[in-house]
């Protein structure tokens, strides 16, 4: 039987609209060091239904409160056959994200970003770490604790293919992601690698549902969750979901400014 979230997701329409306008959060980041479960094992393999209602606070001088229809987001483990469609969705979302463009090249096209995620996620999906909201409404990659070595294996397998998309033989790509990896927390944690929402679905709670889905796992395990973002507008939105900034600095080689964020259960 599918589990139903007991806590509301997205307390106000403004909060959910703001969150779902985000194109994505973090890409290919650090992995937990120290396993608390067998590699590749995810807590919930069944569909999870996040149900919530929300209200909007009245504007100044407007006495009434507006109530919206309850929203349900079904989150399931994405199967390998869903990866091409989800890579298109994610590639579109990250087509202007500094964490995608800088490692490839500043003029990287959306198709190049799509290929990058396709190659990565087609190795991720069989491990049960790629999650889909509804049917192509959104997607997120959550790495459970103890998967740092698994990530490194995938990264080593993908890098030669990614080199064909770069303008410097993947030198900048390697420097950037090695720098990100150096900031990997030593303690076991859940990691939000990337998340994206279909443009027409933003503002409907899909993005917040995908994030809170992973945070529920972190709470159940009693471990923190981590992410990085290069979008300054995302920082406050993540803080609304319970994250806090633990470090922010520029990537080497005049790279983008990165915020490293932590959630404590």
> Quick check: pTM over 0.95?
no
Counting the structural domains of the chain, the total is: 1
Residues 6+ apart with CB under 8 A from 143: 31, 32, 129, 150, 151, 190, 191, 193
The pLDDT tens digits of the residues spanning 241-265 come to 999 999 999 999 999 999 999 999 9
Q: What is the mean pLDDT of the chain?
A: 77
The pLDDT-based confidence of 52 (bands split at 50, 70, 90) is very low
* CATH number, domain with residue 124: 3.40.630.30
How much of the chain, in percent, has pLDDT values that exceed 90? 60
Residue-wise pLDDT for 185-238, tens only, equals 889 999 999 999 998 888 778 888 899 999 999 999 999 999 999 999 899 989
Residue 88's domain comprises 3-263
Please say whether the beta carbons of 172 and 253 come within 8 A.
yes
> 178 CB contacts (<8 Å, ≥6 apart)?
none
Classified as helix, coil or strand, 257 is strand
Identify the pLDDT of residue 58: 34
Find all residues with CB under 8 Å of 81, minimum gap 6, and list them: none
């Amino acid at each position: 039987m599918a589990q139903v979230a007991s806590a509301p997701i997205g307390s106000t329409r403004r909060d959910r609209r703001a969150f779902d306008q985000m194109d994505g959060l973090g890409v290919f980041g650090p992995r937990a060091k120290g396993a608390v479960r067998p590699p590749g094992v995810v807590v919930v393999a069944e569909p999870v239904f996040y149900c919530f209602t929300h209200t909007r606070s009245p504007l100044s001088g407007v006495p009434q409160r507006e109530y919206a229809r309850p929203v349900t987001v079904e989150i399931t483990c994405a199967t390998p056959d869903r990866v091409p469609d989800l890579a298109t969705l994610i590639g579109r979302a990250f087509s202007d994200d500094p964490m995608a463009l800088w490692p490839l090249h500043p003029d990287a096209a959306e198709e190049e970003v799509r290929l990058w995620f396709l190659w990565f996620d087609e190795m991720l999906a069989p491990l049960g770490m790629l999650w889909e909201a509804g049917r192509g409404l959104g997607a997120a990659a959550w790495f459970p604790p103890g998967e740092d070595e698994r990530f490194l294996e995938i990264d080593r397998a993908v890098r030669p293919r990614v080199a064909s998309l770069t303008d410097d033989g993947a030198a900048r790509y390697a420097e950037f992601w090695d720098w990100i990896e150096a900031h990997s927390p030593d303690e076991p944690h859940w990691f939000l690698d990337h998340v994206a929402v279909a443009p027409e679905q933003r503002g409907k709670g899909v993005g917040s549902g995908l994030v809170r889905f992973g945070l529920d796992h972190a709470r159940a395990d009693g471990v923190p969750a981590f992410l990085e973002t290069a979008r300054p507008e995302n920082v406050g939105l993540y803080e609304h979901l319970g994250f806090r900034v633990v470090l922010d600095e520029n990537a080497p080689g005049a790279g983008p400014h990165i915020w490293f964020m932590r959630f404590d259960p």
